[in-house]
Structures are given as structure tokens and as C-alpha cells.
Structure 1
């Protein structure tokens, strides 16, 4: 999986991972998911974030999409 996440075609892309089912006991935390995916080893220029959420309650969904919009917007304005 590391190869695909670090692929040249994705260079500069924002990566948002929703860690769903956080309302269920025993689900992996965002930090645990980051370790499993080895995201800390990813190229430091790559922007990524894991947001814990529950599609059932809606918790975390706005936070994740807000981060994504802000991250993309910050780089669009840098290109001007």
C-alpha cells in the first residue's frame, strides 16, 4: 500500500482518511490507523490527516471536510 500512497501521480495531493465507526468499542483510533498505514514514513511534502468519525452520528465528518477544503485552498493560493 505504501507504494501507491507515495506514487508520483499523487504527489501534492491531499489525503484525508475517515476513521469511521469510532462510536463502536474496539475500533482502531486514528493514531493506530496511521501506524498500520505507516503514514509517518510518507514524503513530508505530502499533506494527510486522519479524522475519527461516525457516519451514524455524523461526528467528525464536518471536521474532515473542513480540513480538506482548507488544505486544498491553502495550496491553490500559493500557486497565484
Structure 2
């Protein structure tokens, strides 16, 4: 994905919400895509926010919200203006995938995020036993939970950056479509 380095970005801005359980690798992914570098991160208490400028004429404001159990109770507070949900799973930690599936299903039932597209990042593909895209799709029951929206599952590795360019191209595409649909709905609403 092409990134633009400038002092001020004058294009459209999309709000991207990045969620997932603690230790899934959200912050590491965010800083790898933003700075193309690996940072030692500690569990996020609260949130991190970074703007990623793309060559597609859109800036992605990525909200990386902590995934510890106590933080999940406030995830709902970040849903309202999302143009795309990025949900990160540790695809090598099979013991926590059921918990991750439950949390994702809860989020997707929320009316604040109705019709918002979802990109699942199946992180930690560099680890032995990591599940691929098809297995993650089945495990998270994506076809059922995302039947009313665009969705995509991308295997990736936050350490090497593998799969991140493809993932954020999809995020950008989905966010642009979502923003367009919101504008059209608003225009119709204003006419009534």
C-alpha cells in the first residue's frame, strides 16, 4: 500500500476501528503499517490512534483500542463513526479463538456498526500451527456474522509485515465504499 508522508493531508479521512483480544498484536500491526518498523509494545491501556495516509486519496485514522477484558466493556463507545472494523486475532492461539469469536459476534450485533465492513487480520502467521484464512473464517463463523456486510480475512504477520499491504488495501477500499454509502444515505435524508 502506498503511504504519503506530508505535514497536512487534504483528502478524505476514514475512521478505522481496530479491535481484538489482548495480545492479538493490534498495536504491533498498527506501528508496522505506520512506520514499517517493529516496536516493543506493552498491553494497551486505553487506546492508540495513528493517521495513515494512503496514495488512494484517503487518510485512515486508526483507533487501536485495548483488548483486555476490562477494556472490552468500552469498545461500544468507539463504534459510532467507524468506516471499517479491523478485527485482529492471534491465529496461533487456538485456546482463545472461541473467546475472540464471542467478542466479535457481540460487536457485530451492535446497531452502531450496522453495515460497517470488517477485515479480520489473522495475525501471527509466522508461528507454528497458525490457522489460515479459511480456518479462521470457519472458526469465527464469518459467513453467518457478516452476512449483512462486506468482509475479508487476511493472514498476516505483524513482525515481518507479510499480508499487511493487502489487508490495508482492502480496509481502504471498504472504508471508501462505506463513506460513500453514508454520504448517499445522508443526502437522501436531507431531501426528505
- After TM superposition, the score normalised by the length of structure 1 is 0.82
CA contact (8 A) 2:116 2:178 kept: no
How far off is 1:7 after superposition? 2.3
**Is 1:3 aligned to 2:106, yes or no?**
yes
How far off is 1:25 after superposition? 2.2
| Residue of structure 1 aligned with 2:119, choices 16, 34, 38 | 16
In structure 1, the residue matched to 2:130 is 27
What is the root-mean-square deviation in Å for CA atoms of aligned residues?
1.7
Q: For 1:44, what is the secondary structure of its paired residue? A: coil
Q: Which has the higher contact order (CA 8 A, sep 6+)?
A: 1
Q: Tell me, which stretches of 5 or more residues in structure 1 are unaligned?
A: none
How far off is 1:16 after superposition? 1.4
Deviations 1:12-60 (A, max 9, x none): 2121111111122211112111111111112422121111001111110
In structure 1, the residue matched to 2:162 is 59
- Between 58-67 and 33-42, report the one with greater CA deviation: 33-42
Distance between the aligned counterparts of 2:179 and 2:125, measured in 1? 32
Larger Rg: 2
Distance between the aligned counterparts of 2:143 and 2:179, measured in 1? 24
Answer 1 or 2: which has greater strand percent: 2
**Is 1:49 aligned to 2:152, yes or no?**
yes
Q: Tell me, which stretches of 5 or more residues in structure 2 are unaligned?
A: 1-101, 185-192
Aligned length: 80
Q: For 2:153, what is the secondary structure of its paired residue? A: strand
